[in-house]
Amino acid sequence: MISANLLAIFYLISGILFILALRGLSSPETSRQGNLFGIIGMAIAITVTFLSIDNFSSGFLYVILFLLVGGSIGAFIAFKIPMTAMPELVAGFHSLVGLAAVFVAISAFISPEVFNLGTSGNIKLASLIEMSIGAAVGAITFSGSIIAFLKLRGIMSGSPITFPGQHILNLLILISIIVLTYFLCLNQSPNFFWSLIAISFLVGFLLIIPIGGADMPVVISMLNSYSGWAAAGIGFTLENTALIITGALVGSSGAILSYIMCKGMNRSFFNVILGGFGGTDQTSGKTNKEQKPVKSGNADDAAFLMKNASSVIIVPGYGMAVAQAQHALREMVDSLKKNGVKVSYAIHPVAGRMPGHMNVLLAEANVPYDEVFELEEINNDFANCDVAYVIGANDVTNPVAKTDPQSPIYGMPVLDVEKSKSVLFVKRSLSPGYAGIDNDLFYRDNTLMLFADAKKMTEDIIKNL
């Protein structure tokens, strides 16, 4: 049994390591170090929590067993999951955090004596409020993350699902959660508690179904924030310092990231957080592809254009991730550099459906960090660029975002690829991107479509170079 003072010191050390982890993850150069800090901090928190238990009953063995089972499943998924499935994996893991918060709240409500919260029917008021908040936010996180997972996985349509009076219904349900919490604190009836959880699960579904694919990266970040606040709320209930610190860090950093992403995509933070309030119709902005001429080429054409260029900008996207073409891309860039061509990479904040997706893939292929630029840093360079090589990036290069007020991506900052002298667009077909709309860039006079698998096309270009 570890003393309370020593326990607090170790929890404080864990908290500091979590802060250092977030700091490290803010830059590709220090991300590995940040990840290591996070692992060490969590290992310390788990170890001292076990050491703080003064009564090792038979139930302790079940805790160890489930910890090993859960940890093994998590490790297996982490090793096997491809980078292309990372967005839905994140959404799935968020759902588990929310569900864990709900289960802890249920345990604390049924057996408050175990948690030193009082007795059944006479739970401390502060603990009851914390428990209610943790359970409600956890339930919303769980059901909302399930919908996000289904949309990202393609099991459910990425288009918004709306109906008349939807926002009024959401508002009434949120008010009912507050009312139920009040009456729960008043008489501590189990009926109010179970009703609170059930309605919170419903809110999660209703908040996420009206959000379209174009805003899904913000949703992932927002649900990340929710999971943190749910953990922090339960941390107060359990009087666990490490859980409070970790939950607050995740909740606040997720909220800040959501705000930054909304600002970067020209979206209203409150509109997204309230469930797509004021969102545009996802079906608008679609065009008839058959009526437009498209110029298509092959690897030989692409190699000729790039070989005779003085500057090339690479725009990687989700298609590159699906084809795992980052290593071939790096090899192609090396060949261009040998021919004296200046090459740089342009990354959109949400390329690949979540922040940092493309940066991780390029780092995996050992692409130098000083060649990778964010949208704000490189967008002006497209006007002076000879060739833009777009490899699977769709919505983030669509000029419609700047011209069509009816488009679901209108106002979202996009890469000004169309300003390049020549655009080489690698794509399997003319199918729309995740936002569900046609890309006007396909039909521009300076665009040459390269219909093929991204990795195969890039490898063919290398041969021609």
CATH of domain 289-464: 3.40.50.1220
The whole-angstrom separation of Cα 292 and Cα 160 is 27
List helix spans (H) across 404-465. Answer: 454-464
E strand intervals along 251-323: 311-316
CA angle (337, 398, 462) in 5-degree steps: 25
The whole-angstrom separation of Cα 307 and Cα 303 is 6
Contact criterion met (CB below 8 Å) for 424 and 389 = yes
Q: b or e along 211-232 (b: 16 or more beta carbons within 10 Å of the residue's beta carbon)?
A: bbbbbbbbbbbbbbbbbbbbbb
Element (H, E) at 390: strand 387-391
Element (H, E) at 373: strand 372-374
What are the tokens at 138?
Answer: 């956890």
* Residue 217 neighbours by CB under 8 Å, 6+ apart: 87, 261, 265, 349, 350, 353, 354, 355
Residue tagged active-site, from 395, 438, 440, 460: 395
Residue 110: what pLDDT?
A: 92
Looking up tokens 């992403």, which residue turns up? 261
Element (H, E) at 423: strand 422-427
E strand intervals along 96-175: 118-119, 122-123
Contact criterion met (CB below 8 Å) for 333 and 462 = no
Q: What share of the chain is helix, strand, coil (3-state, %, to 5)?
A: 65, 10, 30
Contact criterion met (CB below 8 Å) for 372 and 313 = no
The whole-angstrom separation of Cα 401 and Cα 36 is 39
| pTM score, whole prediction | 0.75
The whole-angstrom separation of Cα 273 and Cα 254 is 12
Residue 283: what pLDDT?
A: 45
The whole-angstrom separation of Cα 220 and Cα 5 is 38
Looking up tokens 């956890």, which residue turns up? 138
**CA proximity to 257, closest of 274, 245, 241, 272:** 272
List per-residue pLDDT tens for the chain, 465 residues long: 677 788 888 988 998 999 999 888 877 778 889 999 999 999 998 888 877 776 666 667 777 888 889 889 988 988 888 777 777 888 888 899 999 999 999 999 999 988 888 888 889 898 899 889 999 999 999 999 999 888 877 788 767 787 888 878 888 988 999 999 999 999 999 999 999 999 999 988 888 888 776 677 778 888 888 889 988 888 888 888 888 888 899 899 888 888 877 776 666 766 665 555 434 444 444 444 455 788 999 999 999 999 999 999 999 988 888 888 999 999 999 999 998 999 999 998 777 666 777 888 888 888 988 899 988 899 999 999 999 999 988 888 999 988 888 887 788 889 999 999 999 999 988 888 767 788 999 999 999 999 999 999 999 999 998
Element (H, E) at 403: helix 400-403
Task: Look up 395 and say whether it is catalytic.
Answer: yes
Residue 280: what pLDDT?
A: 44
* Residue 58 neighbours by CB under 8 Å, 6+ apart: none
Total Cβ atoms within 10 A of residue 273: 19
**CA proximity to 389, closest of 288, 339, 320:** 320
The whole-angstrom separation of Cα 231 and Cα 248 is 8
